[in-house]
Chains A and B, each alone.
Chain A
Amino acid sequence: MKGLVFTELLEYVEANFGFDMLDKIIEDAKLKNNGAYTQGGNYDFDELLKLLVSISKESGIEIPKLLEIFGEHMFVKLTSLNPEFKSKFNSSLDLISNVDQIIHPEVEKLYPGVDLPRFNEIERSEDTLVLDYISNKHLEHFAIGLMHGCAKNFNEDLDISYEALADSTRFTIKNKIEY
Chain B
Amino acid sequence: MSEYSPWEKRFERERASRKEAEKILESKSSEIYEMNKNLENLVYKRTIELEEALKKANIAKVSKANFLANMSHEIRTPMNGILGFTQLIAEGDLNKSQREYINIVNSSTKTLLSIINNILDYSKNESEKVNIELIKVEPFMELKNCFMLYDSTAKAKNINYRFNMDKNIHHYLYMDIYKIHQIISNLITNAIKFTDVNKDVEVNIEVKSDEDSSQVLRFSVKDQGIGIAPENIDKIFEAFLQADNSTTRKFGGTGLGLSITSSFVNAMGGKLKVESELNQGSVFFFELEFEKCNEESNHTSENKSINKVISEKINKKVKVLIVDDYEFNQILAGEILKSFGIEFDICDDGEKAIEFALKNNYDAILMDVNMPILNGLNATRILKNTHHLKTPIIALTANAIAGDKEKFLQAGMDDYISKPIEIDILVKVLGKYISINEI
Query: Which A positions have Cβ atoms within 8 angstroms of B?
Result: 7, 19-20, 23, 26-27, 33-41
Q: Which residue of A lies closest to B16 (CB)?
A: A36
A39 near B6 with CB under 8 A, answer no
* Interface: B45 (CB within 8 A): no
A44 to nearest B CB, angstroms?
A: 14
B182 to nearest A CB, angstroms?
A: 55
B1 near A39 with CB under 8 A, answer no
B20 near A36 with CB under 8 A, answer yes
Q: Which residue of B lies closest to A42 (CB)?
A: B24
Q: Which residue of A lies closest to B5 (CB)?
A: A23
B15 to nearest A CB, angstroms?
A: 8
Instruction: Give every chain A residue within 8 A of B6 (Cβ-Cβ).
Output: 19-20, 23
Instruction: Give every chain B residue within 8 A of A19 (Cβ-Cβ).
Output: 6, 10
Task: Label chain A's interface by main secondary structure.
Answer: loop
* Interface: B435 (CB within 8 A): no
Give the residues from 1 to 35 in chain B that come closer than 8 angstroms, CB to CB, to chain A: 1-2, 6, 9-10, 12-18, 20-21, 24-25, 28
Instruction: Give every chain A residue within 8 A of B16 (Cβ-Cβ).
Output: 33-34, 36
Give the residues from 252 to 293 in chain B that come closer than 8 angstroms, CB to CB, to chain A: none
A38 near B12 with CB under 8 A, answer no
A40 near B21 with CB under 8 A, answer yes
Q: Which residue of A lies closest to B24 (CB)?
A: A40
CA distance A142 to B63 in the complex (A): 69
B121 to nearest A CB, angstroms?
A: 51
CA distance A26 to B10 in the complex (A): 10
Instruction: Give every chain B residue within 8 A of A27 (Cβ-Cβ).
Output: 1-2, 9
CA distance A94 to B9 in the complex (A): 45
Given A38-B20, A40-B28, 17 additional A-B pairs, CB 8 A = A7-B17, A19-B6, A19-B10, A20-B6, A23-B10, A27-B1, A27-B9, A33-B16, A34-B13, A34-B16, A35-B13, A36-B13, A36-B17, A37-B17, A40-B21, A41-B21, A41-B24
Instruction: Give every chain A residue within 8 A of B13 (Cβ-Cβ).
Output: 26, 34-36
- Interface residues of B, CB < 8 Å — how many? 17
B21 near A34 with CB under 8 A, answer no
Could you list 28 A-B pairs, sorted by A, with CB under 8 Å?
A19-B10, A20-B6, A23-B6, A23-B10, A27-B1, A27-B2, A27-B9, A34-B1, A34-B9, A34-B12, A34-B13, A34-B16, A36-B13, A36-B14, A36-B20, A37-B17, A38-B17, A38-B18, A38-B20, A38-B21, A38-B24, A40-B21, A40-B24, A40-B25, A40-B28, A41-B20, A41-B21, A41-B24
Instruction: Give every chain B residue within 8 A of A39 (Cβ-Cβ).
Output: 21
B100 to nearest A CB, angstroms?
A: 74
CA distance A91 to B6 in the complex (A): 44
Instruction: Give every chain A residue within 8 A of B1 (Cβ-Cβ).
Output: 27, 34
Instruction: Give every chain A residue within 8 A of B25 (Cβ-Cβ).
Output: 40
CA distance A101 to B9 in the complex (A): 43
A155 to nearest B CB, angstroms?
A: 36
Q: Which residue of B lies closest to A112 (CB)?
A: B31
CA distance A20 to B25 in the complex (A): 31
CA distance A34 to B8 in the complex (A): 12
Give the residues from 28 to 48 in chain B that come closer than 8 angstroms, CB to CB, to chain A: 28
A31 to nearest B CB, angstroms?
A: 10
CA distance A19 to B6 in the complex (A): 9
CA distance A23 to B13 in the complex (A): 11
Of the residues B9, B14, B18, contact of A23 by C-beta under 8 Å: B9
Instruction: Give every chain B residue within 8 A of A34 (Cβ-Cβ).
Output: 1, 9, 12-13, 16
A59 to nearest B CB, angstroms?
A: 18
CA distance A23 to B12 in the complex (A): 12
Q: Which of B6, B17, B24, B25 has the most CB atoms of chain A within a 10 A radius of its CB? A: B17
CA distance A35 to B20 in the complex (A): 12
B152 to nearest A CB, angstroms?
A: 66
B19 to nearest A CB, angstroms?
A: 8
A36 to nearest B CB, angstroms?
A: 3
Instruction: Give every chain A residue within 8 A of B21 (Cβ-Cβ).
Output: 38-41
CA distance A178 to B28 in the complex (A): 48
Instruction: Give every chain A residue within 8 A of B28 (Cβ-Cβ).
Output: 40
Instruction: Give every chain A residue within 8 A of B9 (Cβ-Cβ).
Output: 23, 26-27, 34
Q: Which residue of B lies closest to A37 (CB)?
A: B17
Instruction: Give every chain A residue within 8 A of B20 (Cβ-Cβ).
Output: 36, 38, 41
Question: 8 tightest A-B contacts by CB?
Answer: A36-B16, A23-B6, A38-B21, A36-B17, A36-B13, A38-B17, A40-B24, A38-B20
